[in-house]
Structure formats: structure tokens, C-alpha cells
Amino acid sequence: MERYLRNQDAISEEDQTALSHKRVVVVGCGGLGGVVIECLARIGVGHMRVVDGDVFDESNLNRQLLSSRMNLGRPKTLAAQQRVMAVNPLVEVEAVQAELTSDNAPELLGNYDIAVDCLDDIPSRLLLQQAAKEAGIPLVHAAIAGWRGQVAVVQPGEDLLSLLYNNSRQEQGEEISTGTLSFTAAALGALQASEVVKLLLGRQGLQGELLILDLLNASSTRLRLT
């Protein structure tokens, strides 16, 4: 199919077919989520559920790919759905305009291959990890603060996010003082999407490690957590 011609041979025809049958739930449609959704739509993941209870505001314009002056005040999930449909109508996309809660998490993650953590606070991230664990599916995590970001893959039964956020009494991290930048969100969202695709295709990805990217110093570090 001409649409996927430039995916080859990094993604074989067999891989492409496999991706078209995969189902991914992306929780959070902001800075990270917008990039993840864009990448997964273009590469041809068959079905995406996009979850967010928020609407765009002006402070999102510095980094959130799906935001524009035209959709301020409108749901992020609606923008995500419209973007996917505009880019690749072969991808089914379901928009869920809701915040993740312990009540709705089992239903939101049920019948999906992978969950993607594009959230922006610590309690929600830990809640999503627990929900993914209970659903028995991997979770691909990313978070950003200023020029830095991190990515990890949490397999069912692991609690890597509990190691990263251990006993934190805070809801936020360094981003409170450092902010969140456009290229950091783009870089980490792209890394996150690549880990999703590797998982979907059974390729070797991050395992028990945290990949930290420091864009200010143009450096990366892989730390073993387990």
C-alpha cells in the first residue's frame, strides 16, 4: 500500500499487517499524547482509544501538537480523533472524554494490547500503572520536565513507576519549576511511540530500564531499575 511505502523495510509488510490488528489505549492527549497519537496513526496501528478529560487552553500552545488557536476551549480527545481521521482513515479511533479514575480504568483498558502513559501528574500515573497491571498489559511510560525526559516500559507485574515516584507526597515533579518544552515533548513522545511499536511487533525494547534524555546536554542515560 503506497501509504506505508516509506515504512519499508524497517517495517515489513507482515509487520504492517500485524500493526493493523493491534489496539492501543493512549491516556493523556497533551504534549506527549499528541505526538504518540500522531506517530501511531501514521505508522498504521489499527485501533486507538484516546482518553483525556481536559480541553485546550492557551498554556498548551507552547508544546501540544494537537492544540491550536482555533481549538482553545475544545476537548483534546476531539482534536486527537479529528487529527487521526485526517491523517489515516484506516485507523479506528475512539475518543473518551474522561479523566482516568479507579472506577473507569478497568473498562478503559479492557481488550487493549498496550496502554500508553501520557499523563501529567504522579497519582494518575500510578493509578494507570495499577490498572495496566490488573488488565495484564504492558504500560509505556514517559514524563518530561524542562529539557529532560524519561521513558520506561512497565511489564505486567512490575512496578517501575513506584520506584520512580516512591513515596512521593507530591503530585508534580521538576516540571513545576522547569516547565515543559515543545521539543522535549516531541522527542519523548516519539521515543514512547517507538517503544509501543516494538512491543506490538515483539521486538526488543526497554526492559526494566529507564531511558533518560537530556536535551540541554544532548545526552542520554539508561538506568537499570530491576
Partner 1 sequence: MIKVNTEDYPWHPGMTVRVLLDEKLFTFRHIIVRVNGEFVPEEDYEHHPILDGDDVLVLHLMAGG
Please report, as ranges, the residues that interact with partner 1 according to CB under 8 A: 28, 30-33, 118-122, 125, 142-145, 148-150, 163-168, 170-177, 179-180, 185, 210, 221-225
Q: Indicate the SS3 state at residue 11.
A: coil
Nearest CB to partner 1, comparing residues 30 and 46: 30
Nearest CB to partner 1, comparing residues 28 and 44: 28
What is the closest distance, in whole angstroms, from the C-beta atom of residue 203 to partner 1 in the complex? 24
Q: Cα separation of 29 and 94, whole Å?
A: 13
Q: Cα separation of 53 and 46, whole Å?
A: 23
What is the closest distance, in whole angstroms, from the C-beta atom of residue 202 to partner 1 in the complex? 27
Nearest CB to partner 1, comparing residues 6 and 224: 224
User: DSSP letters of 141-201?
Assistant: EEEEEBTEEEEEEE-TT--HHHHHSTT---S--THHHH-B-HHHHHHHHHHHHHHHHHHHT
Alpha-carbon dihedral sign for residues 203, 66, 52, 183: positive
What is the closest distance, in whole angstroms, from the C-beta atom of residue 32 to partner 1 in the complex? 5
C-alpha cell at 171: 503530585
Nearest CB to partner 1, comparing residues 108 and 151: 151
Is the distance from CB of 41 to CB of 192 less than 8 angstroms? no
Nearest CB to partner 1, comparing residues 1 and 98: 98
Distance of CA 71 to CAs 78, 92, 135, Å?
Answer: 10, 22, 34
What is the closest distance, in whole angstroms, from the C-beta atom of residue 105 to partner 1 in the complex? 17
What is the closest distance, in whole angstroms, from the C-beta atom of residue 23 to partner 1 in the complex? 22
Tell me how far apart the 2 most distant CA atoms of the chain are, in Å: 51
